[in-house]
């Protein structure tokens, strides 16, 4: 038992809140992320996550929790994507890439100002790579509320979201208007990306967003089953990541544990590879 769960795993307050926050965020990211994958908007999700670094570092400079910065910039960026309506992949990628570069440049400035004018030593690592072990208990109500908002959007718009995701032409033919659904979906995406940026960092947030859904969609094509599988894979990867990060306390080199974000991302990737192998067998059989 001790070999699997290092001593104190079940009594440690930090681990408890990490398990809870990690599970909530993994579910939201997986559910929203499933539509991100179906709509082939992974790059938008990635861009929203990375540009979140700008907001997160600005929030640290302003002395508030990075989550508010992540969410603020992600909502603004999502609105910009929607309003500009850059639909053609080529111009979209170019515009996103340029805005992303400028955003990260601003993040570099904010982090520089933050660490040279205030006592925020670990700001860069917190914003870029995050850690579930430092999400403070005060943030839990906000995280849960935001999660409920994102999930509610998906539940309320489920049918239209699915239709517009799988077959936009058919949706248009049936008179389902694309705009409001797409706008609401982008809001849910902004929230999901911000939440996963808060837990595993701005740079890594896409892993939690598109990794589990991509794996789930290899295993099943039925939407509900895919949503459930994606949520399950996301939670499992997060919990296993927390467990290994806790166990790594005694690992070399420094004897103080490896970063939890690293383990989560590794597990997400492993699950994707496994699903890929299994998915291939299924199609062959």
Partner 1 sequence: MRTAKRPEIRPVALVAVLLAAIGLLGASAPMASAHARRAAQPIAIVAAENQYGNVARQVGGAAVRVTSIEDNPNTDPHTFEVSARVAQQIAGARLVIENGLGYDSFVSKIEQAAPSRARKTIVVQRLLHLAPSTPNPHLWYRPDAMPALAKALAGALAGIEPAKAATFQRRAARFIASLGPWKAALAAIKRRFGGSGVAVTEPVGNYLLRAAGLKVKTPFSLQTAVMNGLDPSPQDVAIEEALFSRHEVKVFVYNVQVTDSLTAQFLADAAHAHIPVVGVYETMPIPGFTYQSWMLAETRALERALADHRSTSSL
Calpha distance 114→124 (Å, rounded)? 9
- As measured in angstroms, the least distance from the Cβ of 76 to partner 1 is 23
Query: Looking at beta carbons only, is 150 or 242 nearer to partner 1?
Result: 242
Residues 251-280 that bind partner 1 (CB under 8 A): 254-257, 259-260
What string of DSSP letters covers 207-225? HHHHHHHHHHHHH---HHH
Query: Looking at beta carbons only, is 76 or 106 nearer to partner 1?
Result: 106
* Other CB atoms within 10 Å distance of the CB of residue 223: 17
- As measured in angstroms, the least distance from the Cβ of 93 to partner 1 is 20
Q: Out of 133, 158, 239, 269, point to the residue binding partner 1 (CB under 8 A).
A: 133
- Tell me: does residue 19 bind partner 1 (CB under 8 A): no
Residues 71-130 that bind partner 1 (CB under 8 A): 112, 115-126
- As measured in angstroms, the least distance from the Cβ of 248 to partner 1 is 8
- As measured in angstroms, the least distance from the Cβ of 190 to partner 1 is 24
Calpha distance 261→98 (Å, rounded)? 27
- CB contact at 8 A, 272 and 214: yes
Calpha distance 192→189 (Å, rounded)? 5
Residues 235-254 that bind partner 1 (CB under 8 A): 246, 249, 254
Query: Looking at beta carbons only, is 88 or 116 nearer to partner 1?
Result: 116
- CB contact at 8 A, 267 and 203: no
- CB contact at 8 A, 142 and 199: no
- As measured in angstroms, the least distance from the Cβ of 243 to partner 1 is 11
Calpha distance 232→209 (Å, rounded)? 13
- As measured in angstroms, the least distance from the Cβ of 70 to partner 1 is 16
- Tell me: does residue 18 bind partner 1 (CB under 8 A): yes
Calpha distance 45→210 (Å, rounded)? 8
- Tell me: does residue 64 bind partner 1 (CB under 8 A): no
Query: Looking at beta carbons only, is 7 or 180 nearer to partner 1?
Result: 7
- As measured in angstroms, the least distance from the Cβ of 9 to partner 1 is 9
Calpha distance 99→129 (Å, rounded)? 21
SS3 127: helix
Calpha distance 53→198 (Å, rounded)? 10
Q: Where on the chain is the footprint of partner 1 (CB under 8 A)?
A: 6, 8, 11-15, 18, 112, 115-126, 131, 133-134, 136, 246, 249, 254-257, 259-260
């Amino acid at each position: 038992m001790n070999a699997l769960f290092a001593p104190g795993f079940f009594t440690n307050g930090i681990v408890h809140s990490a398990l809870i926050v990690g599970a909530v965020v993994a579910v939201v990211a997986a559910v929203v992320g499933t539509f991100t994958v179906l709509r082939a908007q992974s790059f938008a999700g990635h861009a929203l996550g990375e540009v979140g670094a700008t907001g997160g570092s600005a929030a640290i400079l302003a002395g508030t929790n990075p989550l508010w910065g992540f969410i603020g910039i992600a909502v603004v960026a999502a609105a910009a994507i929607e309003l500009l309506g850059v639909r053609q992949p080529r111009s979209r990628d170019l515009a996103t890439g340029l805005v992303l570069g400028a955003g990260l440049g601003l993040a570099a400035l904010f982090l520089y100002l933050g660490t040279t004018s205030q006592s925020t030593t670990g700001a860069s690592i917190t914003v870029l790579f995050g850690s579930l072990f430092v999400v403070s208990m005060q943030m839990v109500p906000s995280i849960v509320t935001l999660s409920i908002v994102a999930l509610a959007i998906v539940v309320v718009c489920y049918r239209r979201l699915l239709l517009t995701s799988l077959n936009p032409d058919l949706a248009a033919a049936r008179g389902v208007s694309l705009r409001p659904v797409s706008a609401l979906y982008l809001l849910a995406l902004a929230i999901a990306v911000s939440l996963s940026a808060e837990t595993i960092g701005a740079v890594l947030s896409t892993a939690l967003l598109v990794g589990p859904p991509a794996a789930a969609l290899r295993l099943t094509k039925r939407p509900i089953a895919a949503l459930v599988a994606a949520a399950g894979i996301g939670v499992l990867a997060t919990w296993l990541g927390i467990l290994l990060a806790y166990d790594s306390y005694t690992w070399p080199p420094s004897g103080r544990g490896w970063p939890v974000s690293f383990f989560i991302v590794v597990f997400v990737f492993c699950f994707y590879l496994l699903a890929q192998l299994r998915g291939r067998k299924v199609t062959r059989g």
